Amino acid sequence: MELLTVTLAASQTRHFAKAGRYFEIIDSTYAVNVAFTGADGGQSDTMTGALSGLFIEGAYSAFALTNGSIAQTVTLLVMENSRGGSRRQPGVVTVIDAAKKRSQNQQAFLGPFTQIVAAGGQNPTLQLFNASNSGVIAYVSRVEFYSTAAQLVRFGHNDTILSTITGSPGNKYSGGVAGSLIYANQSMVGTPANFAYWGLYLCAANATVRLDFPEPIILPLGRALVLQGATAGGDLGGNVEYTQEAV
């Protein structure tokens, strides 16, 4: 019986020339893929999207671990001739806080849109855009918006970036790299190209409207979240909170 503790970088594959008849994942935070090699040198079996607690019985001459998009440490139980394990309960049980883990891995972001005052006869429009080459998919959990005058605010999505780019949301890991998504705004007549509604909200003067999403809004490559004040010549600002992961 052997316990192997393996550190894996994001998307890393590690090969082990170790034969056995029993294999179990004792501890892993995120899923891994395992490919087993048989005595003839060909692939004998696989485990796809495997997490701790999964095991396999059957002869193999070697195996390879492939990690997902987040670095982690994995502990394996490998046995040569029989099966076995441990029923011992650890003295301290660690519950993984997924939200904290995302912040630690610099996948969580928070920041303000640049407040815009529209030109006369035009509408203030804000956007959080996920460019087609960003390499990430975004999950928006919260949006806030505010205005100095009461107005209806259009909330929706589109696929065309606005004219003025103003930066990116900050990392929840203090000092971390800014998010991959882009803030943009524009003073414009009517709604942006290819705009589709998610909702219409009344914002009181000098008040903030907060939208929390039990199921996150998903922005794949090339898609954007849009806020637009319906009052011509009005102003609009806001904040957004989201997480991202590699595509």
Q: Can you give the residue ranges of every domain in the chain?
A: 2-81, 108-246
The number of residues in the chain equals 247
Q: Is the dihedral of CA 18, 22, 26, 28 positive or negative?
A: positive
Same fold, 2-81 and 108-246: yes
Mean pLDDT of the chain: 92
Is the pLDDT score of 100 beyond 90? no
Residues 6+ apart with CB under 8 A from 115: 235, 236, 237
The enclosing H or E element of 102 equals helix 98-104
The enclosing H or E element of 139 equals strand 136-147
pLDDT at 94 (0 to 100): 52
Residue 80, number of CB atoms within 10 A of its CB: 12
Is the pLDDT score of 71 beyond 70? yes
Please name the amino acid found at residue 126: L
Is the pLDDT score of 92 beyond 70? no
Q: Which residues of 201-217 are buried (b: 16+ CB within 10 A; e: fewer)?
A: eebeeeeebebeeeeeb
Q: How far apart are CA 216 and CA 58, in angstroms?
A: 41
pLDDT at 95 (0 to 100): 54
Mean pLDDT, range 40-48, rounded to an integer: 90
Q: Return the percentage of the chain with pLDDT > 90, whole number.
A: 75
Is the pLDDT score of 87 beyond 60? no
The enclosing H or E element of 98 equals helix 98-104
Tell me phi and psi for residue 103, to 5 degrees: -65, -40
For 185, the token pair is: 């705004």
Q: How far apart are CA 145 and CA 227, in angstroms?
A: 8
Please name the amino acid found at residue 54: L
For 206, the token pair is: 């000098």
Mean pLDDT, range 103-126, rounded to an integer: 95
For 83, the token pair is: 């099966």
Architecture of domain 2-81: Sandwich (2.60)
Please name the amino acid found at residue 22: Y
Is the pLDDT score of 199 beyond 80? yes
Closest to 233 in 3D by CA, of 127, 125, 143, 117:
117
Is the pLDDT score of 239 beyond 90? yes
Task: Please tell me the class of the 108-246 domain.
Answer: mainly beta
CA distances to 169, 177, 218 from 129, in Å = 11, 17, 12
Question: Can you tell me which residue has the tokens 């903030």?
Answer: 208
> Do 200 and 228 contact (CB within 8 A), yes or no?
no
